[in-house]
Amino acid sequence: MRPITTPSYVTTHYHDKNYFLEHIDEIRNGIRGLVKGDQIDVSVVIPAYNEEEKILRTLASLSKTQTALSVEILIVNNNSSDKTKELAELAGATVITETKQGVQNARTAGLHAAKGKLIINADADTIYTPYWVELMTSPLKNENISMAYGKFAFFPESGAPRLLYFLYETSSDPYKWWLAKTKEEAMFVYGCTSCYRKEQAIAVNGFEHPPGTNEDGYLGYKLRTKFGKLYKVTSNKALAWTSDRRLIEGGGVFASFTKRFRKALTQKIDTSNLEKSQS
């Protein structure tokens, strides 16, 4: 069952940019401490465009990661006009710049720049748990699994009760399960929480995708078709926690549920270009 309340390891990051600047040394030490020795096992790739207000919160959460793996945090600055780049560097993350605008271009740049054999996709406005990296990478110890993908949950930044989002998420899960079984599982691969092997992603031309599909789900589809099955990480300790503000701005819970349901019913995975994309 999904969490009714927000865990303490998430609520501890309910702060603004200024709070994290006051604790920047601790964050930087945590981020740098994730790199163990000369070898990188995992690259957490985060596209960022004008995320000055949120990037430190995300990095602060990642600085608490608990894993024996050597992990780099790679920020892909996508033409930010604010202080996203400077703050990410101050927090100890590796920062590269992609001048071609768009999340697909940013993720592609991150894919090729990543030093790890494994890559985890993440977002710049999301709070991650201390167990997220370990739980997302563990399924790929099985060579028959080409991608692990997780779930997300909303934290009530707007002041709405968490119970409201618990009910929304819980009611959404059955129809997602049904659509994954009857239509296409890869449509539920999210850019905020998915893990795959760098070499295999490059072999299927990364995030290239036909019109009408999304880059994250189509990558999952290509990986499953060529290299092995997808694995859904269901542990609540692996949830990616995202702000409810976009949900509220989109008209609220009911409007969002209706929109997502209709989109899922009409979305198709276009296989006509698959052979070309893998050639």
* Residues 140-175 pLDDT 10s: 999 999 999 999 999 988 788 899 899 989 988 887
Mean pLDDT, residues 238-252: 82
Supply the pLDDT for residue 238.
98
Q: Which CATH architecture has domain 8-278?
A: Alpha-Beta Complex (3.90)
pLDDT of residue 86: 99
Indicate if the pLDDT at residue 254 is higher than 80. no
Query: Greater confidence, 270 or 255?
Result: 255
As a whole number, the mean pLDDT across the chain is: 90
Instruction: Answer yes or no: is pLDDT of 274 > 50.
Output: no
**What band does 277 get if pLDDT is binned at 50, 70 and 90?**
very low
- Please give the share of the chain, as a percent, with pLDDT higher than 70: 89
**With bands split at pLDDT 50, 70 and 90, how would you rate the model's confidence at 243?**
confident
Confidence class of residue 251 from pLDDT cuts 50, 70 and 90?
low
Q: What is the mean pLDDT of residues 185-205?
A: 96
Domain ranges of the chain: 8-278
**Of residues 160 and 253, which shows the higher confidence score?**
160
Amino acid symbol at 200: Q
Write down the pLDDT at residue 158: 79
DSSP string, the chain: ---SS--HHHHTT---HHHHHHTHHHHHHHHHHT--SS---EEEEEEESS-TTTHHHHHHHHTT---SS-EEEEEEE-S-SSSHHHHHHHTT-EEEE--S-SHHHHHHHHHHH--SSEEEE--TTEEE-TTHHHHHHGGGGSTTEEEEE--EEEE-TTS--HHHHHHHHHHHHHHHHHHHHHT-GGGG--TTSEEEEHHHHHHTTTT---TTS-HHHHHHHHHHHHT-EEEE---GGGPEEEESHHHHHTT-HHHHHHHHHHHHHH-----TTHHHHH-
**pTM (2 d.p.):** 0.89
pLDDT of residue 278: 36
Across 1-19, average pLDDT = 96
Q: What is the pLDDT of residues 55-88, one digit of tens each?
A: 999 999 999 999 999 999 999 999 999 999 999 9
pLDDT for residue 273: 45
Residue found by looking up tokens 């945590």 in the block: 30
Mean pLDDT of the 11-28 span? 98
Rounded distance between C-alpha atoms, residue 93 and residue 87, angstroms = 9
The phi, psi pair for 120, rounded to 5°, reads: -115, 125
pLDDT at 261: 54
Q: Which of 10-14, 207-211, 268-272 has the lowest mean pLDDT?
A: 268-272
